[in-house]
């Protein structure tokens, strides 16, 4: 069989969630997965990886978290076990090792998909391959000395897997901050080029900040009603960790303990890296977001008359007395660089006119203007949880309802 009512491209949690709801609607379909199921979690996460959101937010359709630690944070092997259970429960019709090379519309209606395993057609297609495809590595990396080990965050595994010597981590988003911490806790000397990522508290007023924000309805805000509207999709995630039961990540504390913080990496001259003199401003901006989130929780507690222990205002533990703007690789002892500056989406294989001027798919809650074409699993597809375990069920259910309604109207 090569024609299906629906084809899902991508077998991650988004694609499998769509399959769950398609099965409920008794719609024949096929899931095409480029690699193997859970490939990303098994092969593109470091050894000490853990969730940054509490386990209770793992709410895939028909398969909520059922462990004994809802306010804990699953580690890598536990996440994979949870997903393996979900995969078995859904029992989706999947073709693994099937890379989609081109998606086009058919003159008679529907879509044609050229893949590494042959040709397929479908009346409707759900693209659930996410938005993190191509690792971002700056062009200056090409001119670094050959004896410097370079990895992207998806390739990092552990401090022990790196050669002896100091490590430069570029980028302080969720991955960068946590990888820097992983290296720091292992006793490695770390240089961290700090970016624009904000931070938030792990706990405030006696509870996890995620619990407070859930009660406040933050995770139900749609992109169409968010103050930033679609601009929220450009926001960098806050850095925090679920490691060892969960805690703040405070870069100032790391600096006080010996990590060297730097501003934004700007250029390379010979073997000398040059950084912007913006470290103090980056740290202040991250702390301002931290304080603002706590203040919004304080306001909610007061308005609701909730009994909660008092909060503790944040006091900076360290401030840069001067900013290092040049770093000679040969003299610094740096032998490894880890690029933690994100990914770019790659939808070049989608030959359908649904993209805006920034090559981002135009859609409303995953529904495009092209009849029968849908997206799932994108960050802020609809809410904060759209690309996470917490919100994908709601998105998948909505998309399949729209898909089913179109079928019923034909």
153 and 112 both lie in a single domain: no
Query: Residue 407: enclosing H or E segment and its boundaries?
Result: helix 392-409
Domain extent at residue 220: 136-339
Decide which of 339, 358, 379 is a domain's last residue. Answer: 339
65 and 199 in a single domain? The answer is no
Pair 222, 386: CB distance under 8 Å: no
User: At which of 339, 362, 386 does a domain end?
Assistant: 339
Domain count, the chain: 2
| Packed helices 392-409 and 13-24: angle between N→C axes, nearest 10 degrees | 40
Residue 242 neighbours by CB under 8 Å, 6+ apart = 50, 51, 52, 53, 54, 72, 73
Residue whose C-alpha is closest to residue 287's, from 245, 253, 310: 253
DSSP helix/strand/coil, 123: strand
Please indicate, yes or no, whether residues 220 and 198 belong to a single structural domain of this protein. Answer: yes
Q: Do 211 and 335 belong to one domain? A: yes
Residue among 222, 198, 185, 151 nearest 294 (CA): 198
What is the residue-level pLDDT of the chain in tens, covering all 410 positions? 799 999 999 999 999 999 999 999 999 999 999 999 999 999 999 999 999 999 999 999 999 999 999 999 999 999 999 999 999 999 999 999 999 999 999 999 999 999 999 999 999 999 999 888 899 999 999 999 999 999 999 999 999 999 999 999 999 999 999 999 999 999 999 999 999 999 999 999 999 999 999 999 999 999 888 888 777 777 788 999 999 999 999 999 999 999 999 999 999 999 999 999 999 999 999 999 999 999 999 999 999 999 999 999 999 999 999 999 999 998 999 999 999 999 999 999 999 999 988 788 999 999 999 999 999 999 989 998 888 899 999 999 999 999 999 998 87
Tell me the CATH number at 103. 3.50.50.60
- Is the backbone of residue 67 left (phi > 0), alpha (psi -120 to 50) or beta? beta
Same domain, yes or no: 238 and 299: yes
Of 309, 339, 369, the residue that ends a domain is 339
């Amino acid at each position: 069989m090569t024609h299906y009512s629906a084809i899902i491209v991508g077998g991650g949690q988004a694609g499998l969630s769509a399959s769950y709801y398609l099965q409920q609607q008794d719609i024949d379909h096929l899931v095409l997965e480029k690699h193997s199921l859970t490939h990303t979690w098994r092969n593109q996460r470091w050894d000490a990886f853990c969730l940054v959101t509490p386990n209770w937010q793992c709410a895939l359709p028909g398969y909520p978290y059922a462990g004994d630690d809802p306010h804990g944070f699953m580690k890598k092997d536990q996440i994979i076990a949870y997903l393996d259970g979900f995969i078995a429960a859904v029992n989706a019709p999947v073709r693994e090792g099937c890379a989609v090379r081109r998606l086009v519309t058919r003159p008679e209606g529907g879509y044609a998909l050229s893949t590494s395993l042959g040709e397929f057609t479908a009346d409707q297609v759900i693209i659930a391959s996410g938005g993190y495809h191509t690792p971002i590595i700056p062009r200056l990396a090409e001119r670094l000395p050959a004896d410097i080990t370079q990895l992207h965050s998806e390739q990092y595994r552990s401090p022990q897997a790196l050669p002896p010597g100091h490590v430069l981590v570029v980028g302080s988003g969720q991955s960068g901050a946590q990888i820097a911490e992983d290296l720091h806790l292992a006793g490695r000397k770390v240089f961290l080029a700090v970016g624009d990522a904000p931070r938030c508290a792990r706990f405030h007023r006696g509870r996890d900040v995620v619990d407070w924000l859930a009660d406040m309805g933050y995770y139900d805000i749609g992109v169409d009603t968010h103050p930033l509207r679609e601009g929220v999709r450009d926001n960098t995630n806050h850095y925090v960790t679920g490691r060892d039961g969960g805690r703040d990540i405070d870069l100032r504390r790391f600096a006080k303990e010996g990590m060297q913080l730097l501003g934004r990496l700007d250029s390379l001259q010979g073997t000398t890296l040059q950084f912007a003199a913006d470290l103090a401003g980056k740290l202040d901006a991250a702390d301002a977001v931290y304080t603002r989130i706590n203040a919004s929780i304080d306001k909610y507690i007061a308005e609701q008359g909730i009994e909660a222990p008092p909060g503790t205002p944040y006091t900076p533990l360290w401030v840069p007395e001067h900013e290092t703007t040049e770093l000679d690789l040969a003299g610094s002892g740096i032998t490894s660089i880890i690029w933690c500056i994100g990914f770019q989406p790659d939808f070049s294989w989608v030959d359908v006119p649904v993209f805006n001027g920034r090559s981002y798919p135009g859609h409303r809650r995953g529904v495009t203007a092209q009849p029968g074409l849908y997206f799932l699993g994108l960050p802020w597809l609809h809410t904060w949880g759209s690309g996470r375990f917490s919100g994908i069920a709601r998105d998948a259910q909505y998309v399949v309802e729209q898909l089913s309604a179109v079928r019923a109207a034909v």
